[in-house]
Structure 1
């Protein structure tokens, strides 16, 4: 009897795995829907080690600000981001990038901005410091 149960479970697992492999959304498996400028910006982000100081989605370094939603900030925009990336600040060095490279990083940051938020609303944080998921 136990062999029959295990046989049914194994067969079900194999059928389900095959179904997922054959019929899952092909678009979800690829990055074709991501513009090449965004991919290039992501590569530049990594090559210049931006994540060592900056965060995306709350993950990364803590010296610079979280840049997940920098593009939607109404007080900032492409000129603001361009100036900081191209010329640096007191704490952030200038990386001597070309204008095209700077705009690729901006394209990447705009894509990140559209994909999520980094700040958890204050009402979703419990007094103990944990998140309240059902709000």
Structure 2
């Protein structure tokens, strides 16, 4: 059974629109929503990945569950930088010992500091509505 010509044209039009939409979305280089890290923080992120920190720790709830989420560890309880740097090498409980030098510790700290400035996790003010959209309390508009 062959489709009428108008259905084929509609299908091709929809396919072209879908392809155009995907091209625009995946090639957009605007800064909207992008986290820009400094060079020092990028080096810290590389250390984070090379040492597989995300297998135990999370950033924005993504990662392992053995250690705590470190999204806001920099500002959490006003911990000072000296404390955090000491945690990088010694850790507690099941965290393995690392041998980061002062430069590497400063880079990891800068990475966590810049991640901390991008937002809060978990967002305790967010409410998930019945339709699945997230609403921030004390705001009139939904679908944010």
Same fold (TM over 0.5): yes
1:121 and 2:129 correspond: no
1:60 pairs, out of 58, 63, 83, with 63
What are the superposed Cα offsets for residues 17-39 of structure 1, whole Å, 9 maximum, x if unpaired?
Answer: 66x28x843557x98x4322111
Deviation at 1:16, TM superposition (A): 5.3
Q: 1:2 maps to which residue?
A: 7
Q: TM-score, normalised by structure 2?
A: 0.67
For residue 124 of structure 1, give the secondary structure of its aligned residue in structure 2. strand
Question: How many residue pairs were aligned?
Answer: 127
> Considering only aligned residues, what root-mean-square deviation do their CA atoms show, in Å?
3.3
1:25 pairs, out of 26, 29, 33, with 29
Deviation at 1:89, TM superposition (A): 3.1
Higher relative contact order (CA 8 A, sep 6+): 1
Q: For the residues of structure 1 that align with 2:122 and 2:17, how far apart are their CA atoms?
A: 41
What are the superposed Cα offsets for residues 79-109 of structure 1, whole Å, 9 maximum, x if unpaired?
Answer: 1211111333343233011110011111111
Q: 2:44 maps to which residue?
A: 41
1:104 pairs, out of 103, 107, 117, with 107
Q: 2:134 maps to which residue?
A: 133
Deviation at 1:43, TM superposition (A): 1.0
Q: For the residues of structure 2 that align with 1:17 and 1:59, how far apart are their CA atoms?
A: 25
Q: 1:86 maps to which residue?
A: 89
Q: 2:54 maps to which residue?
A: 51
Q: Which has more helix, going by share of residues?
A: 1
Q: For the residues of structure 2 that align with 1:87 and 1:109, how far apart are their CA atoms?
A: 17
